[in-house]
Chains A and B, each alone.
Chain A
Amino acid sequence: DAKTTQPNSMESNEEEPVHLPCNHSTISGTDYIHWYRQLPSQGPEYVIHGLTSNVNNRMASLAIAEDRKSSTLILHRATLRDAAVYYCILRLSSGSARQLTFGSGTQLTVLP
């Protein structure tokens, strides 16, 4: 399985943008890039996903490098409620399983 590399932790100030990086140099051509986040004492929550093009939704933006070997999750204005562990996951697009395999993620701390 293709793996991802994320920083263990990051800090951000409230109301400032946050850029969470993810490296996935062994990504295959049909693997989707998914981002989930996990707030304290909750299950992971879907944030966004993409294949090749940049994506935007109400929660965040996903910027994907042209060679697809890295991506960045962008939170445009961090709030205290965005403090969570953020997981970057490559999801297999073929086969019956197509599972989510989580790494250790990035612990985001938002400072008031």
Chain B
Amino acid sequence: EAGVAQSPRYKIIEKRQSVAFWCNPISGHATLYWYQQILGQGPKLLIQFQNNGVVDDSQLPKDRFSAERLKGVDSTLKIQPAKLEDSAVYLCASSFQGEIAGGYTFGSGTRLTVV
């Protein structure tokens, strides 16, 4: 089974620029998550989708971050404008209907550096 695909793998931008990350979850996984992982910390949930609807975006900084999941498959996460503190790895994960068994499958992430 193919894993969760993310692109790009690395991105370097200047502060105040915009950036977008793309995620393709495992086929058939209805639930998709975006996490932010700052160096030395555990991942922090930004947003959760169930199909193409948002389940939880309470920790998403909505003044600069946005995410969408059109057609309930691929998803994009955008930052506009970026700040220095947004430097982190952005991880996408998916699961089958948010089930307990089998857990989440994570992608390898996009490492963002804001300079």
Interface residues of A (CB under 8 A from B): 32, 34, 36, 41-46, 49, 85, 87, 91, 93, 96-105
Contact = CB atoms under 8 A, between A and B. Distances in A.
Interface residues of B, number: 25
Contacts of B105: 46
Interface string B94-115: 0000101111111111000000
Q: Which of A44, A87, A93 has the most CB of B within 10 A?
A: A44
Interface string B6-48: 0000000000000000000000000001010000011111001
Contacts of A98: 98, 100
Interface in B68-113: 91, 93, 98, 100-109
9 contacts: A36-B104, A43-B107, A44-B104, A46-B105, A87-B42, A93-B100, A96-B50, A97-B48, A97-B55
